[in-house]
Structure 1
Amino acid sequence: MAPGTGDAPTMEQLQDLLLESPGFTEFLLGLATVSASRLGGSEPMLCAITVERQGGPATVASSGEEARRMDEKQYAFDDGPCLTALREQHPVLVADLAADDRWEHYASAVSGQGIRSILAVPIATDSGSAAALNCYARSLETFDDATIAAVTEHAASISRILRLAMLVHPPEIYPEHLRTALKSRAVIDAAVSLIMAQNKCSRDEAMELLHLAARATDTRLHAIAGDIIAGAGLPG
């Protein structure tokens, strides 16, 4: 798939986006939307931008709901192609998500989303932070050499404005109990997705199964969910 043919946003346009955004999340949302518009060709590109800084919860902004769900699932597992690109600072290509065994549980959890391939490229930032541009496609032919080059070039082109945005918008300070609550919710959500995929049931039914297992074993919901993500299966 050829990358988009529209003109790349100028630095002035990106600065306007930053100036008009009331907060860091809103800026990232605009940047992800611009990225999807710039990179999409005959098939729309789903894009998300993930930023980690100073040990706080990641800020994730997506061009659409599907991309957001794909990113959030990775944080529930604390692993995946986009997190690998962000933390190890090298591009990661998953040409066929269903056939890739590097992130088996993650692939199972998102199997119903219709995403076939993923490309994640790090975005250069200042020390103490890391970022990545995450691109999702419904086709196996999306990420050819030309598109990979275009995504890599685009990630480099938005690095400067992203670093400026992080200076303008300091990281929010999350109390430890809130960080724990956010992580716990993500883990439970990932376990529910796995139960849905394995049992071919609705989200409500999967949540009920999770609660039943917690009550039957007298185990906290978060602990049961963590075991399921680790591959233990649903008790009982």
Structure 2
Amino acid sequence: MADGPANNEGPDRQGFLLDLMTGAEDEAASLQKLAYASARWLGTAAGTGVECAAVLYRQRGCTATAGSTPEAAAVAASEDEYPDGPAALGTALAAPTVVGQAGSRWQAYRRRLLEHGFGAALVLPLELQPGVSAALVFLGPANHAFTPRVTSEAAWFGEVASRSLKLALDVHGVIRAGDNLKQVLESRTSIDVACGVLMAQNRCSYAEAFSRLAGTSRNRNLKVRSVADSILKAMPSGAPRTRFDPPAIA
């Protein structure tokens, strides 16, 4: 996988992907890497400095934004503040859309671009997965025009960016699920051990011990895990440590 522009021609283009995971701890970091790589790629195709603003939307979640420069990041952030921008409407766009100069439907958006030092924008919707969408906004300098050739290159790059970002989101999702499972297992272990302590102290069944934990949880307005941890910490030897190591991958 590559992290930036390689040879823009040749048979390797079909299987080309962007490495959006190396050094990226979360989805926001992967989106930032995509903004950097996108700016470099299209800037090479355009033969001039092009920046990139990236926006990630979730139907049930916060909008994430990134930019290849602070100015591009400000443009991306404004998409959340002004929902009339082309990136905010990116899911309704079927193809790359150029925000031109005179006579454009995006006049208010163009004024915001100019405030950040940009003269034109090329909006690229990304196909991801149900409930999740994204858009890249390539930003050109004053008096810049995105040619049909560059727009065509952006359309191809959009396919690469979509596959790359979708893969990164899937991987982050798996990592999140693993972390959540680890928390559940650790919580369950603490509760089970605390129930064992109560069973030994009170000569009762597991169900009765857990009922005691649950009752204390309700009376003190604490989570059952917190009550269990307090019992274990009070033990002479202290709370036993839980450790869950992922299996080694050959």
TM-score for both structures, normalised by structure 2: 0.58
Partner of 1:182: none
Q: 1:95 to 1:103 in 2, by over 3 A?
A: closer
Q: 1:84 to 1:92 in 2, by over 3 A?
A: farther
The Cα offsets for residues 95-135 of structure 1, whole Å up to 9 and x where unpaired, read as: 21xx3452343333443222111110111111111111110
- The correspondence for 1:84, drawn from 68, 81, 89, is 89
AA aligned to 2:68 is S
Q: 1:20 to 1:111 in 2, by over 3 A?
A: closer
Contact residue 113 and residue 119 of structure 2 kept, 8 A: no
Task: After TM superposition, give the deviation of residue 58 of structure 1 in Å.
Answer: 1.1
Root-mean-square deviation (CA, aligned residues, Å) is 2.8
Partner of 2:7: 7
Q: 1:103 to 1:158 in 2, by over 3 A?
A: closer
1:121 aligns with 2:161: no
For 1:12 and 1:128, the matched residues in 2 are separated by 25
Partner of 1:39: 42
- Superposed, which structure 2 residues align to 1:135-174 within 5 Å? 135-170=138-173
Q: 1:13 to 1:126 in 2, by over 3 A?
A: closer
Unaligned runs of 5+ in 1: 173-236
Partner of 1:74: 79
AA aligned to 1:51 is L
Taking only the aligned residue pairs, the percentage that are identical comes to: 26
For 1:94 and 1:105, the matched residues in 2 are separated by 11
Unaligned runs of 5+ in 2: 177-250
Task: After TM superposition, give the deviation of residue 89 of structure 1 in Å.
Answer: 4.4
Counterpart secondary structure, 2:133 = strand
Counterpart secondary structure, 1:61 = strand
Counterpart secondary structure, 2:21 = helix
Task: After TM superposition, give the deviation of residue 55 of structure 1 in Å.
Answer: 2.7
Contact residue 74 and residue 80 of structure 1 kept, 8 A: yes
- Quick check: which has more Rg, 1 or 2? 2
The Cα offsets for residues 169-205 of structure 1, whole Å up to 9 and x where unpaired, read as: 24x9xxxxxxxxxxxxxxxxxxxxxxxxxxxxxxxxx
Task: After TM superposition, give the deviation of residue 87 of structure 1 in Å.
Answer: 4.2
1:55 aligns with 2:60: yes
Task: After TM superposition, give the deviation of residue 156 of structure 1 in Å.
Answer: 0.5
For 2:26 and 2:108, the matched residues in 1 are separated by 34
Counterpart secondary structure, 1:49 = strand
For 1:72 and 1:100, the matched residues in 2 are separated by 25
Counterpart secondary structure, 1:14 = coil
1:93 aligns with 2:98: yes
Using CA pairs under 8 Å that are at least 6 residues apart, name the structure with larger relative contact order, 1 or 2.
Answer: 1
For 2:78 and 2:103, the matched residues in 1 are separated by 17
Task: After TM superposition, give the deviation of residue 12 of structure 1 in Å.
Answer: 7.8
TM-score for both structures, normalised by structure 1: 0.61
Partner of 1:64: 69
For 1:133 and 1:144, the matched residues in 2 are separated by 17
Partner of 1:131: 134
Task: After TM superposition, give the deviation of residue 24 of structure 1 in Å.
Answer: 1.1
For 2:87 and 2:160, the matched residues in 1 are separated by 19
1:18 aligns with 2:18: no
